A and B are shown apart, each in its own frame.
Chain A
Amino acid sequence: MQSEQKDIQLITAGETGLVVEFGQEISPKINASVHQFSQALRKSMPDGIVELVPTYCAVTIYYDPLILSRERLMEFVWIRVKEMEFFAKKETKKNVVHIPVCYGGVLGPDIEYVAKYTGLSVQEIIYRHTEKPYQVYMLGFTPGFPYLGDVQESLFVPRQKKPRLRVPVGSVGIGGGQTGFYPSESPGEWWLIGRTPVRAFDPAIQNPFLLTAGDFVQFFPVDMDMYFSIRREVLAHTYVCQCEEVSIR
């Protein structure tokens, strides 16, 4: 497995950061290695590691150099990388989170535009947007905001030239080959095709984040009545998104 290890680079990011880089492009495969590595690392971490931040192609390890020297941290990282390559042959489990979306209408005001641009019917857009789960490459921009991978080509629309200054919470957007939804009100350049009643970030509950980087998101369509019914449950903290573990080789 020498060849695989060669692709991995350790880069310093100040005296408290070490970047473990698995490649230089945005791809599901490289990102899967990122999450496999950070999950393995999270299971047992030496004292001095403060936190891990997995992103598209890299895991940044923040640490306290007065507790853990860079040399020792790097040794530890290489050991984990070797173990990971050993286990890579085995099956891994992926967590798929099912997220309800009310498409079109007032909650998805741009769906008609997307239909016109792509030449697809609204029904066809909904079908294609919910056809398969999206990999959560990373979380950021705002707390709990998922960067999702790989929207199928037929759904491509360029981003809006002028960003909306305030995108409503829960809006599901599409643009520039990407899709996702907004956990908090923020500016946004995507075309809004629907809205989810679930909250991706709720600091008032035990597990404030709905998603973890490395999960998969499966959108499914709900009608307006169902949207408001789920929304009431979400506000009462009684709604739980369906999650399933799927084996992926």
Chain B
Amino acid sequence: MITVLKAEPFTSIQDQGRFGYQAWGLPVSGAMDRYACTAANFLVGNEKEQAVVEMTGSGGSFKFDQKTFVSICGADMQARIDERKIETWSSFFVPAGGVLHFGKALKGYRTYLAVQGGIDVPLVMGSRSTYTRAALGGFEGRCLLPGDVLYMGKPTGRKDAQMISREALPLYEEAISLRVLRAMPTAVFGKTIATDFFAEKYTIAEDSDRVSYVLNGPEISLSEQTDIISMAVPQGAIQITSSGRPSIVASDHGTIRGFGRIGYVIQADLPKLAQASPGTRLSFTEITETDAVAIWREQRETLIALV
């Protein structure tokens, strides 16, 4: 049993997401950084699908009533057990009665706390992810609050306490470059607008959330009508609103949208984007689809090696 002593805004239970209902307008939700979420699960011997705690910007404090095998992956939130400092991207035991504290994220933006056996909240429509806008899934459909009590599932695997391998450790930087597959003509603007976009630099805006990453920077001047007939929009899609402001679709974004699109951030770079704190500088480069798939395969193989 885990008691939440302190929880910063937007600390929620997430897993890989709720698939199969986008045709009915229900977003996938799930961990914003699936790489760190999966790694955290693998480090404690869990299946990839098990539920974890996602913390945003800064973390909370969690009291464990019994000795528990846990892991932390993602942003460095200065984790410590009582006064002992804990390395991020590692698994370890919290002693009975121990309190795991998190502070402000120093590098990166989102941290995942996994426990052996996974966080035991009910499966709702095939997932344990929290979708707060519909008060669905997770812990009572909402973010965690002090006083909430979480339970753990039965352990499905065993692992020893360890650090993640150096090859599997991502780097979080203050300026990142995201690789993009350009949208095909019917769903986009004229060539000049897309070219303008790729030449510019942006930063992540403060009002970014689990719905979308809002970008600060030069607005794209729209000389033409760019809205399209509403259609499905995946995570990673770079949209331009009618006012010319670009944003990128995140986990809790609505399933369909009629904004014109410049392109799609590749799957393998979505974790990097999820770790970009407000103010992080972004630039965008084009990539081929073959390369995007190859990079994603490599990333998934790196994760599987952690099992």
Contacts and interface: CB of A to CB of B under 8 A. Distances in A.
Interface of A: 9, 11-17, 19, 21, 24-26, 38, 50-58, 60, 62, 65-66, 70, 138-145, 147, 184, 201, 203, 208-209, 212-213
B192 interface: no
B264 A17 contact: yes
Contact of A14 (B19, B124, B266, B300): B266
Contacts of B300: 66
Nearest to B181: A14
Given A14-B264, A203-B136, A58 B231 contact: yes
Contacts of A58: 231-232
B289 A54 contact: no
Interface residues of B, number: 39
A184 B25 contact: no
B22 interface: yes
Contact of B25 (A15, A24, A141): A141
Contacts of B21: 51, 143, 208-209
Contact of B230 (A24, A52, A138): A138
B264 A203 contact: no
B183 interface: yes
B268 to A, nearest CB: 9
Q: Which 10 A-B pairs have the closest CB atoms?
A: A14-B264, A60-B232, A53-B232, A140-B256, A140-B25, A143-B26, A55-B231, A139-B25, A15-B292, A209-B24
A141 B186 CA distance: 22
A93 B47 CA distance: 42
Contacts of A9: 186
Interface in B109-137: 124-125, 133-134, 136
B45 interface: no
15 contacts: A12-B184, A14-B265, A14-B292, A50-B19, A53-B231, A53-B256, A54-B23, A62-B234, A138-B230, A142-B134, A143-B21, A144-B24, A144-B26, A145-B25, A203-B124
B136 A13 contact: no
Contacts of A213: 23-24
A110 B306 CA distance: 60
Nearest to A143: B26
B263 to A, nearest CB: 8
Interface in B1-40: 19-26
Contacts of B19: 50-51
Given A138-B256, A139-B23, A141-B25, A15 B289 contact: yes
B125 A208 contact: yes
A16 B22 CA distance: 15
Given A50-B19, A140-B254, A143-B25, A15 B234 contact: no
Given A51-B19, A53-B256, A140 B264 contact: no
Given A13-B187, A55-B231, A201-B134, 6 more contacts: A17-B234, A24-B186, A56-B231, A60-B234, A65-B293, A140-B255
A47 B231 CA distance: 24
Contacts of A54: 23
Interface string B230-264: 11101011000000000000000011100000011
A66 B304 CA distance: 14
A14 B187 contact: no
A55 B256 contact: yes
A127 to B, nearest CB: 30
A66 B125 CA distance: 25
A16 B25 contact: no
Given A53-B256, A62-B22, A144-B24, A12 B289 contact: yes
A70 B181 CA distance: 14
A9 B296 CA distance: 26
B267 interface: yes
A19 B232 CA distance: 9
Nearest to B265: A14
A25 B186 CA distance: 12
A57 B297 contact: no
A15 B293 contact: yes
Contact of B237 (A13, A24, A201): A13
Interface string B264-307: 11110000000000000000000001001100110010000000
A52 B234 CA distance: 12
Contacts of B20: 50-51
B254 A141 contact: yes
Contacts of B136: 143, 203
A65 to B, nearest CB: 5
Pick the most buried of B22, B187, B300: most chain A CB atoms within 10 A of its CB: B22
Contacts of A60: 231-232, 234
Contact of A70 (B125, B289, B296): B289
A207 B181 CA distance: 36
